[in-house]
Amino acid sequence: MPSLDDLKGCQEKLSTHFRPLQRSFQFWVRATNIYTGYKAFQLRVCFEKDVQKQEAMWERQHELAAEKLYNMCSDLGGFFLKIAQIIGKPDLAPAAWVRRLVTLCDQAPATPFDVVQVVVEGELGRSVDELFERFDTDPIGSASIAQVQHPGIQDLMMTDIRNLQAFALYMQKTDIKFDLYSVTKEMEKQIGYEFDFKREADAMERIRHFLHDNNKKPPVGVPRVIRDMVTRRVLVMEYMDGIPILKVGDEIAKRGINPGGKIATAAKQNILKSLTLAYGQMILKSGFFHADPHPGNILICKGSEVALLDYGQVKDLPNDLRLGYAKLVLAIADNDLLRAAESYRELGIDTLSNCEDEQKELFKLAQTMFDTKLPPGVVMLQPFSEDSSIKKIAVQAFPEELFSVLRTVHLLRGLSVGLGINYSCAEQWRPIAEEALYLAGRLKGKDLETRRRKRGLIRRTFGSLVGL
């Protein structure tokens, strides 16, 4: 007769075996419910002719869908918390979604201490008391994916991503004219990397050394890795003391400074300048960059210094894509419509026009996808609204390798919107892009000098106009 332990073991095996099926069922039931809710609503709203009433109806529909989406991401957790971070941004999703999902982004459930202790001691071969002077049982923060790698967790993540890929394929054929499938393929690669802490430690050290070697003072701080305390499942690093970037306004107000005043604005501008410089150098000069700058991974330390955490998602851009992107950055910064179109083709972004002024709309699409600046009078971008460029220019093919750049730019824009600062990363990155192309032999020295003189002349002219 089987023992109680045997029965428990059998039950756990059956549970592990059927979990992917249960998870898939939950995803499809909930995702289908949200999708069909919108399709049915689109039919209803057509019968309402009053524009203001239509807008009110849309807001209620977005709120209803936001609650369902929140519940799905919260209940399924893990990978879907990462999805909430990606889509819960003020420049991408409906405002009702953002309001609901933003409360989820910092709420990844913590792994119980006894589980953490078993993994740490098993991996490092010594007790927690021997390894550390102090070990807090309550975590400061929890990762959405790779906290402690439970048995079977990676298989569940792959189940999630494949369900999302199937949904993306359907959506791009019916509703959103964008190559969403390639985006999810790149996500699949990146998610797989999050389960190897040795790789993350190597990435952290590589980026730390790069930023130190290329600056008198690194624009962002990168934690030091404690090398003899790194395994595939455990990563120990330097503690960075700071506050989350989106709480900067609250901290400024606590000190009696007006959050909307000149001092606060200057501090926020310096924070964004540091982040933008670091990312410009990583993407355009090195090609190897931190690809997950969501607010939870950015701390503001003493003296307004910026610290960049979590190197589970990094990207190593192929050289041709790095230089092709440098050309696109220059085209956007220079407002050069023709060169932007050429850069799209060179990067392998295949588009199909549904409008008369293709070049103008393609340039607007390039700005929406690859720059942080909002147009005059616009407080947030809605890429999938009816009058957006993506409705007029279908993106039929998008290089998987570029998704991390696209996501990074959009996360930087989300940060700038959250801090109330409107700026262009393309303009900030222009000198870095010029240098990258010059060093690769793609920009002649004479042309580089001409560009710099022209830029200097514009600055001097502008300065004289405003009395500087």
Q: Quick check: 118 and 180 in contact, CB under 8 A?
A: no
Question: DSSP string of 136-204?
Answer: -SS-S---SS-SS--TTHHHHHHHHHHHHHHHHHHHHHHT--B-HHHHHHHHHHHHHHTT-HHHHHHHH
User: Residue 347 and residue 343: Cα distance in Å, rounded?
Assistant: 6
- Examine the pLDDT at 153 and tell me if it is beyond 80: no
Q: Please state which of the ranges 142-151, 226-235, 412-421 shows the lowest mean pLDDT.
A: 142-151
Q: How confident is the model at residue 112 (pLDDT cuts 50, 70, 90)?
A: confident
Q: Which of 291, 313, 288 is nearest to 197 (CA)?
A: 313
User: What is the rounded average pLDDT of the residues 155-176?
Assistant: 86
Closest to 232 (Cα-Cα) out of 293, 167, 146: 146
CA separation for the pair 34, 122 (Å, rounded): 43
**CA–CA gap between residue 135 and residue 121 (Å, rounded):** 12
Q: In this structure, are residues 330 and 339 in contact, taking their beta carbons and an 8 Å threshold?
A: yes
Top mean-pLDDT range of 212-216, 294-298, 421-425: 212-216
Give me the pLDDT at residue 244, please. Answer: 87
Q: In whole angstroms, give the CA distance from residue 327 to residue 354.
A: 25
Q: How confident is residue 207, by pLDDT bands cut at 50, 70 and 90? A: very high
pLDDT at 9: 55
Q: Provide the pLDDT for residue 462.
A: 34
- In this prediction, residues 205-218 reach a mean pLDDT of 96
Provide the pLDDT for residue 145.
Answer: 55
